[in-house]
Amino acid sequence: MAAAYDPSWPEILREQDERLHFDAPISNDDALTLGLYAVEQARAFGHAFSIRVICNGAISFSHHMTGVGLENDWWMDKKLNTSRETGISTLRLFSEVQAGLRPRPAFLDNLSSYAIDGGCVPMRTADGHVFGYVIASGAPHQLDHEVATRAIARFLGVDVPSVAE
């Protein structure tokens, strides 16, 4: 089954990236709060998700809702590798490739290490420094992305447009 795509997504995702900036890297205690926000967002979608928050290279929060497990860890690892490689969310990469705005990166041919499915969103400061990631897996990739972005938006107290509406 082909992954969902909407031609409006590249612009929405660019706007999300413009609004989702942190003043400074967050602490592990903040990562716990952010992770719990992601769990709340996941429950609102009615799907079982795995959620992970990475801060400063370490897993600061990890949670598997009932019904998900090891396979979702594997997907989160692949999404994380992809976002680390590009510096953007995995859904933004997917959308820009689909729209012809960027070529499909050759590293994606390594299916055991990378995935072009939505669900990993980098956390960055206003100057562009990426210090962490929020990752979700378990639902269609636009919902995985929404869980992560809505949690970050709530943490920052900002509104962002949605790819899930």
Confidence (pLDDT) at 17: 94
Confidence (pLDDT) at 19: 97
* Contact in structure between 53 and 33 (CB atoms under 8 Å): no
The whole-angstrom separation of Cα 90 and Cα 12 is 14
The whole-angstrom separation of Cα 129 and Cα 58 is 16
* Contact in structure between 115 and 71 (CB atoms under 8 Å): no
Residue with tokens 């290490």: 113
Confidence (pLDDT) at 165: 75
pLDDT in tens, 104-143: 999 999 999 999 999 999 999 999 999 999 999 999 999 9
Confidence (pLDDT) at 69: 87
pLDDT grade for 1, boundaries at 50, 70 and 90: low
| 139-162 mean pLDDT | 98
Greatest Cα pair distance in the chain: 40
pTM above 0.85, yes or no: yes
The CATH fold of domain 9-151: Beta-Lactamase (3.30.450)
Domain boundaries, the chain: 9-151
pLDDT in tens, 13-71: 999 999 999 999 999 999 999 999 999 999 999 999 999 999 989 999 999 999 998 99
Residue 100's CB: how many other CB atoms inside 10 A? 8
Confidence (pLDDT) at 22: 98
Helix locations, the chain, DSSP H:
9-19, 28-45, 70-86, 90-98, 141-156
